[in-house]
Structure 1
Amino acid sequence: MCIGGTLSMPYLIPGYICAEGNYDVTAQLMSITLFMCGIATILQTLFGIRLGIVQGGSNLYILPIVAMMSSDKWKCPNSEDSHLQNSTIAGDKDEVWQLRMREIQGNLIVASITQVILGCTGIIGILLKFVGPLTIAPTITLIGPMLIGVLIQLNSKHWGVAFLSMGLTLLFSGYLANFNPPIPGWSMDRHCHIVKFPIFQLFSVLLSIGVGWFFCYTLTVSDVFADNITDVNYVVRTDAKLDAVFNAPWLYWPYPFQFGIPTVSSVGFVGFLIVTLVSVLESVCDYHAAARMSGVPPPPPHAVNRGIAMEGFASIISGMVGAGHGTTSYSQNIGAIGITRVASRAVFLTAGIILLVSGVVGKFGAVLTIIPDPVVGGVLTVLCGMIMGSGLSTLQFIELDSTRNLTVLGTSLIVALMMPEVFKDTEMAAKFKTGYSDLDQIVQLLFGTSMFLGGFIGCILDNTIPGTDKERGLLSWRAILKDNSENPNHSVDIYKYPYVTKFIERVKCCSYIPISPTFDKEVKCSCCYPKVENDYFETDEKGEKLVRKVAAENNVMEMDKKET
């Protein structure tokens, strides 16, 4: 499911760095992107958030690249330029796009260092205190509208095949989800036997892609799709992209600074920093969405801090090897968890290894590119819809009959959907011009990203408009953070490192490190925060009153009873 978003970046970036039509550059960026997706996924699954989340390149990183390359400094040279016209070596032409790539690399690395600092210092954990259901709901929900353009682009290649792929996904994951057909099985005690296996629930995505791919193959060999490159249905043929397989190298190993020493600029850094912050907010929401899909408690602060820091570290590596984009959590794969009910770390580690191998073995990754776009687009449409539903499901914690909550939710959604459309109109966008080109590009980035606007406006309004914790859903939201020791599957221990944590627990100072698995969000430096020994809730016999007791260092405070 990450292939669609992953493959889009290597095809988009060459057009902005003056390498359009240079398929060698596209193939090189393809290998680097797949390689980095594998590295980032393995690091995140083992050492980061430790949830089943695939990492990959985000289309958000195209925004600062477009902003940077639209300036006069980086406009592509004309073919009539003398230094290109008289060139007898390919090195000069390579220098044209490599010069721009080095600028992208440098700004990405510096912005990613900022992301690592945010995670390692625990600042993200502090900011999360202001993030509630009314912040997460619009942010995740607006992922769908942001991907509509990509989905239309994929599905419009052939709407019939796209709707077939959608229908198959709904058929396997919905109508046949509870149908377990008998299949042959084997075990040590029973040997060969028949077992009822939930094949449609577990493999609905693979089945949909496989059946859709085979359908396109059948129409290809029967010449229903014309073998004419000018025909509109030619791109749906399963042999339309075979040249990519033949031209791809067998082995390619990305290495740091292969395009030269990166450069940095203020405009590029600000642009990448803004997109990085948006990516951080998206990732935090994805962590909670993945936890909900996986049936485990929301990640504790130390896991969130570690996940953000690991994403930043992977983005630094991505910038060093020249991918042209950072890495972030892929929402599509979280939707796949909801459909397949598979959230095992082993599965996502395997996915990371497959992505890494796809980047190193060029032929392997190229085979994945020949899947017809409408087949992938149809499946992604259903999964993106599930992601939007997951975002809306967080509203169960708030009081939906509250005028205050409806105002916050409605305002954040309508403004976030309206402003990007405003900035698409040149005349209306001109009214927001400040007279400074750098500042204008920053404003366009901020107001042109609906997901950022929705989360930002929702967070500001939710924390400034008066409302009780119960009304805002914070009581229910915090209640699910508590560890349920009766069920090990519902324990926050899943976010700790196995075998190693018991040794870290012996080092008391580790409890003050924000990314340590023994970090306690309530244990802070005594000069800044009082040390909280216990924080729990009690109810009276009728369950109508709620008492919150906080025993602090040299201080015992009992708050008044509040009605639940």
Structure 2
Amino acid sequence: MASDDVEKNNTAAPPGGEEETGGKREILYTVTEVPPWYLCILLGFQQFLTAFGATFSYPILMAPFLCLVGDSVGLSEMIGTVIFVSGISTLLQTTLGVRLPIIQSISYSFITPVISLMSISEWQCPYTNPAVNATSLPEVGSDGHRSMWKARLAEVQGALMVSSLFQIVIGFSGLMGLLMNFIGPLTITPTIALIGLSLFEAASDKASSQWWISLTTVALIAVFSQYLRNVRVPCAAYSRRDGCSKTSLPIFNLFPVLLAIVSAWVLCVILTVTGALPDDPKGWGYQARTDTRTEVLHKAQWFRFPYPGQWGMPTVSVAGVFGMLAALLASMIESVGDYYACARLAGAPPPPGSAVSRGIGMEGVTCLIAGAWGTGGGTTSYSENIGAIGITKVGSRVVIQVGAVIMIVLGCLGKFGALFVTIPDPVVGGMFIVMFGMVTAVGISNLHFVDLGSIRNLFILGISLFFGLAGPRWVSANSGKIQTGNDIANQIISVLLGTSMFVGGFIAAFLDNTIPGTVEERGILKWRKHEESSSGGDRRDTMAVYDLPLIQKYLNKLKFTRYIPFCPHFILDERGSSSLGGCCQRRKGPRAQEGAVNAGYHEDNTRM
């Protein structure tokens, strides 16, 4: 793309991409816009880096319960598998699912059910059980040891694959879309805000290993994304028409996270080489050293292609399936909030019910894939990358798709992927502080639709946020206190009540739909008006963001597709009293116009 194309993308008004501050555009690239190919690669790689910390942390966290401790080669293979499957899942979600720029990767909501499943006597790891004689066990890393952790991982695979069928049905049947009729700004606000607030402990733990490095990372992101965001750096550009030419790009605004991570990483290298950081593993700041994980680089394979069933034939147990179901329910609630947050940051209109249904259903498909490949957990939308969109102002779907391809490639390159395992914890912690803070702020920003002078609304908001933090904290500290007389029921309730987003979102939805209040007071009226005119232009163009690629114009010609819940022009009835779709349906009368909030379709299928 030539330099004038870059300039055009940075100035043209996007569909739904204007901030409500005098029409000034804040988003550099909206969902349907495509940056130059070289920017796509760099921005896609930045999105991969943002997700990588949480992606590779999950296998490391679950290693003791899966009996993987000590087998660094097996652990690196599992990390590569997670990255590989994350890339496939992201491509499916951005192309055929909700079609928003959201990275799909391993979900931490599966930690509790996996640990619970591995706590059953037959699956307890003998290497971490003090009652077992260690001398009678196979040597760590031997074939006998690998057989043990592969059998445990196969049990998790089977449970995940069976339970993911439930999410597929919930999504593609339209049940999740129907639930959107009961969700407004007062429900979305605590659901999204608690995504970031509930993760403060994880960010704090990483950052506290060396606060000065973490604060430096935060400061660098702030400088690059805020203070230097309008600084354009001279660059060379090439086009077939003009050849080589000179242009300028807002480099600091495009790559604040990548620049900050690399800068802080280099600083840690210098401090390690000069001996400024302690070499005692118990010393404060030791986790900032860059030479503590170099062993991974030597042991990781150069190339390994993950494949379904690589750990063996999956096995299934009822307890495992019900435990995974609880995690999937919590993940679905979280993902709905992620969709709205992503749409708002990426310059897209709020997703219609059909897009939400398709996204949830596709997450079920990707969880099925994750189970088949053996990642040790299901996939979900990543809040970290939604925060990255807010920082970089780049919400292009193509950028995320390029990032997905990078993840697939790196999932097969063990040595290259192992390099990023050596990123110091304080650097990751600093990045998390900014990203989770942005997600929290996006959730709170939905309150501008709501009448904050209403005691009713303040009551709902305060109760949902407080219980969303306090409830899961109690469940975490009192894991054995929930006793229903049924172990499976105990597990399901523990997982649901231990998830902040579920607790806060459920309480907010219940109170908002049961406590009397006008649609104007609740923010529903203003919210719907914002959906109808998010760009001040033709709604049909903005809602085309959620059209399916290549086949949309054919679907528009088939009348029966309007009755398919995940089709972009699905409607509940001809009167339009509860439209969940994204395509135009001709309705008559004022009642039909009132219900056509999500109407409008676009037959331009040249987009990705």
Same fold (TM over 0.5): yes
The residue type equivalent to 2:587 in the other structure is N
Alignment map for 1:246-257 (pairs within 5 Å): 246-257=298-309
Alignment map for 1:422-501 (pairs within 5 Å): 422-426=474-478, 432-482=482-532, 486=537, 491-501=542-552
Structure 2 counterpart SS, 1:195: strand
1:14 maps onto 2:66 in alignment: no
- Deviation, 1:11, is 0.3
The residue type equivalent to 1:10 in the other structure is P
The residue type equivalent to 1:305 in the other structure is S
1:85 maps onto 2:170 in alignment: no
1:26 maps onto 2:75 in alignment: yes
The residue type equivalent to 2:431 in the other structure is V
Give yes or no for contact 1:315–1:326 (8 Å, CA) kept in 2.
yes
Moved more, 216-225 or 382-391: 216-225
The residue type equivalent to 1:493 in the other structure is A
Post-superposition CA distance 1:492-549 (Å, at most 9, x none)? 01111233211222222222212223323545999xx9x98537869xxxxxxxx976
Aligned counterpart, 1:336: 388
Aligned counterpart, 2:587: 534
Q: Separation in 1 of the partners of 2:135 and 2:379?
A: 34
Post-superposition CA distance 1:76-132 (Å, at most 9, x none)? 225885898275893432332222212211111122111111111111111111111
- Deviation, 1:441, is 2.5
Q: Separation in 2 of the partners of 1:373 and 1:86?
A: 33
- Deviation, 1:234, is 3.5
- Deviation, 1:328, is 0.6
Aligned length: 538
The residue type equivalent to 1:43 in the other structure is L
The residue type equivalent to 1:72 in the other structure is S
Structure 1 counterpart SS, 2:422: coil
Q: Compared with structure 1, are the counterparts of its residues 549 and 220 closer, same or farther at alpha carbon in structure 2 (3 Å cutoff)?
A: closer
Q: Separation in 2 of the partners of 1:499 and 1:439?
A: 45
Q: Separation in 1 of the partners of 2:72 and 2:99?
A: 36
Post-superposition CA distance 1:307-341 (Å, at most 9, x none)? 11111101101001110111111111111111111
- Deviation, 1:490, is 5.8
The residue type equivalent to 1:476 in the other structure is K
Aligned counterpart, 2:54: 5
Moved more, 306-315 or 433-442: 433-442
1:508 maps onto 2:579 in alignment: no
Q: Separation in 2 of the partners of 1:153 and 1:467?
A: 42
Q: Compared with structure 1, are the counterparts of its residues 230 and 492 closer, same or farther at alpha carbon in structure 2 (3 Å cutoff)?
A: same
- Deviation, 1:185, is 4.4
Aligned counterpart, 1:562: none
Aligned counterpart, 2:223: 171
The residue type equivalent to 1:480 in the other structure is H
1:392 maps onto 2:444 in alignment: yes
Give yes or no for contact 2:113–2:324 (8 Å, CA) kept in 1.
yes
Give yes or no for contact 2:200–2:436 (8 Å, CA) kept in 1.
no
Structure 1 residues not aligned, in runs of 5+: 539-546, 552-564
The residue type equivalent to 2:216 in the other structure is L
Q: Separation in 2 of the partners of 1:535 and 1:331?
A: 41
1:314 maps onto 2:363 in alignment: no
Q: Separation in 2 of the partners of 1:237 and 1:95?
A: 34
The residue type equivalent to 2:52 in the other structure is I
Give yes or no for contact 2:354–2:568 (8 Å, CA) kept in 1.
yes
Give yes or no for contact 1:416–1:453 (8 Å, CA) kept in 2.
yes
Q: Compared with structure 1, are the counterparts of its residues 159 and 512 closer, same or farther at alpha carbon in structure 2 (3 Å cutoff)?
A: same
Aligned counterpart, 1:41: 90
Alignment match of 2:568 (pick from 517, 534, 538):
517
Q: Separation in 1 of the partners of 2:163 and 2:137?
A: 38
The residue type equivalent to 2:275 in the other structure is D
Q: Separation in 1 of the partners of 2:538 and 2:247?
A: 28
Moved more, 125-134 or 13-22: 13-22
Q: Separation in 1 of the partners of 2:229 and 2:355?
A: 33
Q: Compared with structure 1, are the counterparts of its residues 83 and 263 closer, same or farther at alpha carbon in structure 2 (3 Å cutoff)?
A: farther
Moved more, 20-29 or 57-66: 20-29
Q: Separation in 2 of the partners of 1:315 and 1:69?
A: 19
Aligned counterpart, 1:201: 253
Q: Separation in 2 of the partners of 1:182 and 1:259?
A: 50
The residue type equivalent to 1:165 in the other structure is T
The structure having more radius of gyration, on CA atoms, is 1
Give yes or no for contact 2:107–2:380 (8 Å, CA) kept in 1.
yes
Structure 2 residues not aligned, in runs of 5+: 1-49, 597-608
Q: Separation in 2 of the partners of 1:35 and 1:405?
A: 44
Q: Separation in 2 of the partners of 1:232 and 1:112?
A: 43
Moved more, 189-198 or 164-173: 189-198
Q: Compared with structure 1, are the counterparts of its residues 249 and 522 closer, same or farther at alpha carbon in structure 2 (3 Å cutoff)?
A: farther
Q: Separation in 2 of the partners of 1:8 and 1:405?
A: 38
Moved more, 199-208 or 513-522: 513-522
Aligned counterpart, 2:114: 65
- Deviation, 1:353, is 0.8
Give the percent of matched residue pairs that are identical in Structure 1 and Structure 2.
40
